[in-house]
Amino acid sequence: MDYDVAVVGGGPGGYVAAIRAAQLGAKVLLIEKEELGGVCLNRGCIPTKTLLKSAEKWRDLQSLQEFGLQADHIGFDFNRVAGRMKQVVEQIKKGIFQLIKSNKIDIRSGTAKLMASNQISVSNNDAEKQYSARKIILATGSAPMSVPIPGADLDRVIDSNQLLAMTEVPKSLVVIGAGAVGIELAAIFQSFGCEVTVVEMQPRILPNIDEEIVKRMALVYRKQGIKFLTNSRVMSLREDGCEVVVTITKGTDSQEIAAEKVLLASGRSPVVEGLGLDEVGIEYNYKGIKVNNKMETSVAGIYAIGDVTGQVMWAHAASAAGGVAAENAVGGNVTIDYKAMPGCIYTTPECAVVGLTEREALEAGKEIQIDKFNFAANGKAVSLGETDGLVKIIADKITGHVLGMHIFGPHASDLIMEGALAIQNKLSVKEIGHTIHPHPSLSEAVMECALGIYGESVHQVKRRCSHES
């Protein structure tokens, strides 16, 4: 055998799997057809967060007077904003290359195809070479989903990759889809002065997020200037000069909206085409490759991780699954558990969730207790001038264990780890609430919310609420 482990795909799942396998003593081959770091680093997580930081700083400049400050002739150069985004991506990419090199992992550039359960063909231009490996890990990720809308192939109708490649802010943008990707990009470009309208088929935006949190988020986004059309369907797209006319129906009503660009953000689909899955006999469907909790596919010796499995499409989920697959590929026996998998939406403010929503807990027949704590009652949030949002904790009424934590507010993506740790380790709300938190800090909002389950919160008037199945 040429290698102990071959990994197909160099994104946050693939390169983590490769490094972990190498750490465990395996000889590893990593195959990537485009750019190391995958969508997350090059066209997703890192670029959007870099843009968001620039957008936040621009918002701060516009509200200087609230902090007793003054500045004249402020403005932004979006070309330079985009330039910084590229610099950040390249800096991180260099770091990953160094990690790959230091772990003595071989890299091959090209398109991989399975020839057998331990054989891979790699094509690059006209050249093709085959490699053998005892174990293979598939980490090919996902791609923007195509939509069956007439006019979706127009030049001014773009996906998230194309939007992030722009060096100028469009004057107007219609976003089709109100999931995490659509909402994040809508918020970023609205911050830079783009007129944004989001169209969503479902009754509400972010359909997988706790309903109460979403209501608060929608209010804040509308206040920021984003327009939402829910329960609405895009019927067609057509060009009219330098704009795209979007025909939208809601029930029996119809309207047209013209925009400079239209963003297709209706989801992502796993990249399985051309992998040779049928030839080898790996089970899969339109949702992705079927795996068990060890990340094993239906063919012995072949694993699949990340977006290509269609299970949990977060970069950190791919990394976690990569570690599990790598350990099992070199003889381990570990499993993955998604019950404490946090999810984050990077807007201003942020949204972060982990565990069950209120509806999910009730549908599961749980007897629950709930408390909420507003950031407006948190000293650190008031001093920052970032008081929008709240913390919501759902606890088991009998055991006191945290079932779910949902945060909309400043630094929610950092604060959510208290919830993830609690759910993973079956901690109670009392254990969170009775742990001393620093003052002043945003984390006190989590503590106060936990204390509020039993009516012990000092800095809120409203008592806890409970539901029984």
User: Tens digits of per-residue pLDDT, 196-226?
Assistant: 999 999 999 999 899 999 999 999 999 999 9
Nearest residue to 433 via CA among 409, 464, 411, 469: 464
For the segment 338-365, the average pLDDT, to the nearest whole number, is: 96
Domain total for the chain? 3
Tens of pLDDT along 230-285?
999 999 999 999 999 999 999 999 999 999 999 999 889 999 999 999 999 999 99
Helix (H) or strand (E) holding 345: strand 343-345
Three-state DSSP state, 369:
strand
| Same domain, yes or no: 240 and 383 | no
**Whole-number pLDDT of residue 126:** 80
Same domain assignment for residues 138 and 164: no
Category of 77 on φ-ψ map: left (φ > 0), alpha (ψ -120 to 50) or beta: beta
Residue 439 sits in a domain of what CATH number? 3.30.390.30
182 — phi, psi (to 5°)? -60, -45
- Whether 291 shows a pLDDT value over 70: the answer reads yes
Residue 323 lies in a domain: yes
Same domain? For 10 and 119 the reply is yes
Do 59 and 170 have their domain in common? no
DSSP H or E stretch at residue 17: helix 14-23
Q: What is the pLDDT of residues 53-106, one digit of tens each?
A: 999 999 999 999 999 999 999 999 999 999 999 999 999 999 999 999 999 999
Check whether 110 has a pLDDT greater than 60: yes
**Residue where a domain terminates, one of 212, 235, 266:** 266
Q: What is the bridge-based pairing of β-strands 28-32 and 106-109? A: parallel
Q: Are residues 9 and 129 in the same domain?
A: yes
Given this model, what pLDDT does residue 393 score?
98
pLDDT for residue 382 is more than 70: yes
* Residues 358 and 459 occupy one common structural domain: yes
**Number of separate helices (H) and strands (E) present in the chain:** 15, 25
Mean pLDDT of the region 434-456:
96
Do 239 and 133 share a structural domain? no
pLDDT at 241: 93
- Residue 227 included in any domain: yes
Which CATH number belongs to the domain containing residue 244 in this structure? Answer: 3.50.50.60
Which run of H or E residues covers position 270?
Answer: strand 268-270
Count CB-CB contacts under 10 A for residue 358. 20
349 prior amide bond cis, ω within 30 = yes
- In 330-392, where does DSSP find H-type helix? 358-363, 379-384
Cα Rg, the chain, nearest whole Å: 24
Q: Are residues 11 and 125 in the same domain?
A: yes
Half-sphere exposure of 363 (CA within 13 A, CB side): 5
- 319 HSE (CA, 13 A, CB side): 10
In a domain, 152, yes or no: no
Q: Is residue 296 part of a domain?
A: yes
Q: Which helix (H) or strand (E) holds 405?
A: strand 402-409
Instruction: Supply the pLDDT for residue 193.
Output: 96
Q: Which of 73, 434, 439, 467 is catalytic?
A: 439
Is residue 454 within 8 A of residue 464, CB to CB? The reply is yes
Q: Is position 148 within any domain? A: no
Spatial CB neighbours of 242, under 8 Å, sequence gap ≥ 6: 260
> Which pTM value belongs to this model?
0.93
What pLDDT, on the 0 to 100 scale, is given for residue 146? 85
Residue 151 lies in a domain: no
Q: Which pLDDT score is estimated for 216?
A: 95
User: Are residue 48 and residue 173 in the same domain, yes or no?
Assistant: no
Residue carrying the six token digits 């706790």: 210
Domain that holds residue 406: 343-467
401 carries an active-site annotation: no
- Whether residues 319 and 443 fall in one domain: no
**Tokens read off for 348:** 């201003």
Burial of 357 (0-12, 13-18, 19+ CB in 10 A): buried
What would the pLDDT profile of 299-314 be if each residue is shown by its tens digit?
999 999 999 999 999 9
Q: Select from 315, 336, 357 the last residue of a domain.
A: 336
* Dihedrals phi, psi of 124, to nearest 5 degrees: -140, 110
Q: Is residue 456 part of a domain?
A: yes
pLDDT of residue 468: 46
Would you give the DSSP letter of residue 305?
-
| Average of per-residue pLDDT values in the chain | 95
Verify that 245 and 285 share a domain, yes or no.
Answer: no
Average pLDDT of the segment spanning 117-127: 92
Query: Is 300 in the same domain as 262?
Result: no
DSSP character string of 39-107: HHHHHSHHHHHHHHHHHHHHHHHHTGGGGT---SS----HHHHHHHHHHHHHHHHHHHHHHHHHTT-EE
Q: State the pLDDT at residue 125.
A: 85
- What is the mean predicted confidence (pLDDT) over 129-152? 94
123 domain residue, yes or no: yes
| Domain edge (last residue) among 310, 336, 362 | 336
**Residue 463: pLDDT above 60?**
no
